[in-house]
Amino acid sequence: MLEDDKSIPVRVALRCRPLVAKEINEGCQTCLTFVPGEPQVVVGTEKAFTYDFVFDPTTEQEEVFNSAVSPLLYGLFKGYHATVLAYGQTGSGKTFSMGGTYTSAQENEPTVGVIPRVVRMIFQEREKHTDCEVSLTVSYLEIYNEEILDLLCPSASKDKPSTINIREDPKEGIKIVGLTERQVMSAHEMVGCLELGNSARTVGSTAMNAASSRSHAIFTITLEQSDNVVSKLHLVDLAGSERQKKTKAEGDRLKEGISINRGLLSLGNVISALGDESKKGTGFVPYRDSKLTRLLQDSLGGNSHTLMIACISPADSNIEETINTLRYADRARKIKNKPVVNVDPRAAEMKHLKQQVQELQVMLLHARGGIFGGITMIFTCAILFLLPHPQTDQANEKLQTLTFLIATLLRKCLLTAAADKDSPEAFTTQHALRQAQMSKELIELNNVLALKEEFVRKMCQNDSHLEPMQTEHQNNIKSLQTSVGSLQKEKEDLIQALQSAKKDVNQAKLSEQRRKRLQELEAQITDMKKKLQEQSKLLKVKESSVRSVAKLNHEIQAMKTQRVQLMRQMKEDSEKFRVWKNKKDKEVLQLKEKDRKRQFQMVKLESDFQKQANVLRRKTEEAAAANKRLKDALQKRSEVAEKRKDIHYRGMEGAAGRVKTWLLNEVEVLVSTGEARRHLQDLLEDRKILAEEISQLKQQMEAGERPAAKVRVSGVLLIHVYVCICIDKHSHVMSYGFPPRSAQIADLQQKVLDADNEGRLKQRWDNITTMVEAKCALKVLMSELVSAKTTSSKLESELKQEKSNVLDLQKTLCDERKLMSTMDMEHQHRLVELEQMHQEKVLYLLGQLQSEESKSVEKEQEEETSKRERELLQRLKFQVCHTVLSTTVHNNILAECSSGSYS
């Protein structure tokens, strides 16, 4: 698949990740369509891009590696340089595809990225190339804020200036001075270097990616063969392009994002310069604009086989970034590289001559009848022994599959058991089982304890019966020991007498008697020893019985302790169950209270939904109007383009009118596009809010269903059912707005894409071909600018006037409020005075009723009092009318202020 010494294009593999949870929660839709069986992707409905490889969201890591990356490794052993480059927006899956967060614990997982698979395959290929020795070295660097940092040197610091420099050799190309290179002998060592570098790499959290790479990383594997063939493989994980509006980056994160975008801009300029067919061989390529492009100089347009993995997001909220990535990848396909085999010709010739000498020496040995045949046989047997047996490999694969299946089933069983364990029914059942088990153990313990106590009691009774016998046996033993001692002494005397009698012949008869007596004594001594042994055995039995009783007493004591512990454990378990039950009862009461609150919340939800629906309806109408204006502007653009072909537009006046019409139409298209973008962002934001609210409603519904399933209380169950039905209805009503809104978003995106067509952007100024047309265009633009400035100034003055009016109204409102407050205070004082006067009047009248002598005076006072009351009533009516009038004026002022602020 790799061509020798020819110009070959950079290969591009497009990889699309699935929608992530955040995008799903925000209601994002897929804006990409993949053509089955073809390496082609369609954005929206019309815009199509074709690449060497296209991988949809369902593609596994292994397929990406086998299809796109593995062919490069075969060329690596032939002496060709190779580069794998991951490019794309932040959060699009570059680090995942490359394996930038790999650890040895993930060795057999299917999600392993490109770099670990490359390491594995390199060592597999190395074992196959037995004709030459292969040495491997690795280096790992990152470009952070335009500084090159060594990831294999733990002592390196980001705060200290970097000592790593880039040098360019005319023969060897780009070289990095001061970078650590480690020789590795096994895949495990190379993976260790990868893990060390990954742990030192700079990452950070943004609003779009919780583990965003804040630097460009390059993992380089250098393969040097014994025939002086040196090839390098660069595995590049670029940091993603960022928009501060989406990432919400601040401080250091913002500085990092600016540095990342600067490096990617330089890379984009290099790709554009190399991919522009009109500037082939003549255009300047800005490799030196950044350190990233200098390091990738051989990979882009140089001596290397290069694969770009363009990673994109399918979400319609990222469609602009996706379009930019697709355009860059399309330009990269036009870049031509010229890879060559990196070998020293003199070294190759020397190797060839040495090989011929060795062959001639072997032939000479064979001709002399040496041991060449035996060595060949041994070597052949060794090779056959080392070759893998297919049946063994199949058995190992089957064993690994079964092991993985068993582990999966065990995890499922553990998860199921853990889920069942947390339910209240399972807890109650376990408590009952524990109590039954402990009760059973307690009964068995009591039975065994009773048996052992009975056994000890019987043994004690036996011991009490054995005590007199023991005393008697002890006395017998003492007497027997005394008898044995006397008999032994007598025996010794007889032996001495016999020995002396042997010397005297006359005492033969006496000696015979003594011999018989000696035999009798020996028989008596033997008999007494037997009796003594029997008595000793009886004493040992007694001692054994005592030890057994002591042991049983110890066991009984231990069993009593165990019984106490078991009873205490049962008591503690019962207490825990009681506490748990009380807690669950409280939770039930709390759930009832929550359900009552939810009933009141439903009314508020309905009103909020109606308000939100009205706002969304208004925004939808505005977006539709903007879409219509953009459509009309695009139609006018096409009509103007057709009219340009007419002959009567050739003159000066015709040119002025034509340029003015075209320019105004272009301005209208740009303004309509800007409005469409704004409405598109509003619709995306509204859809995000709507999706979050639907998610919250579903969570509330799930939270409402869960207690209803566990707590079997009729009232609570009915409340939960009612609340769940209301929430479900609300969420369904909100969900109905999703399809039309998503369709409207897709329509607006398609219109914006049509307006921002790359070809149209390039051809926009092709309509002005003469100086006359340029002057006309400048005159029109100046006129439009003056008109816009005048309108803006007028609007600003009107805005200032409105602000002044609002301030005056606010001041008037403040004065009216103060006046109202003063009048309220006076009114309160007046009411208090009237109340006091009324009380005095009542007291006075009571006093007058008690006095029967002053009726006439009382009558006059009543008339006077009634007169005063009428006056007070008139005053009170006046105060009430004045208060009503002030309230009306206050409300009118508030209404005017509100209408002024809205306008």
Feature table: binding site = 88-95
> How many CA within 13 A on the CB side of residue 276?
13
CB 616 within 8 A of CB 737: yes
Q: What is the DSSP letter of 315?
A: B
Residues in the chain, how many?
Answer: 903
> How many CB atoms lie under 10 A from the CB of residue 326?
21
Dihedral of the alpha carbons of 110, 116, 117, 118, in degrees to the nearest 10: 160
> How many CB atoms lie under 10 A from the CB of residue 832?
10
Q: What SS3 class is residue 158?
A: coil
Binding residue numbers for ATP: 88-95
Dihedral of the alpha carbons of 419, 424, 425, 426, in degrees to the nearest 10: 50
Rounded CA-CA distance 454/470 in Å is: 23
φ/ψ bin of 27: left (φ > 0), alpha (ψ from -120 to 50), beta (otherwise): left
Rounded CA-CA distance 146/239 in Å is: 12
Summary count for the chain: helices (H), strands (E) = 21, 18
* Residue with tokens 């590289």, as numbered in its chain: 337
Write the CB contacts of 179 (distance below 8 Å, at least 6 apart in sequence): 139, 141, 148, 150, 164
Work out whether strand 8-9 and strand 11-16 pair parallel, antiparallel, or are unpaired.
unpaired
Amino acid at 247: T
CB 132 within 8 A of CB 347: no
Rounded CA-CA distance 350/116 in Å is: 36
Work out whether strand 173-177 and strand 336-337 pair parallel, antiparallel, or are unpaired.
unpaired
Output phi, psi for 146, to 5 deg.
65, 25
Q: What SS3 class is residue 203?
A: strand
Amino acid at 432: A
Among 220, 191, 226, 180, residue whose Cα is nearest residue 77: 226
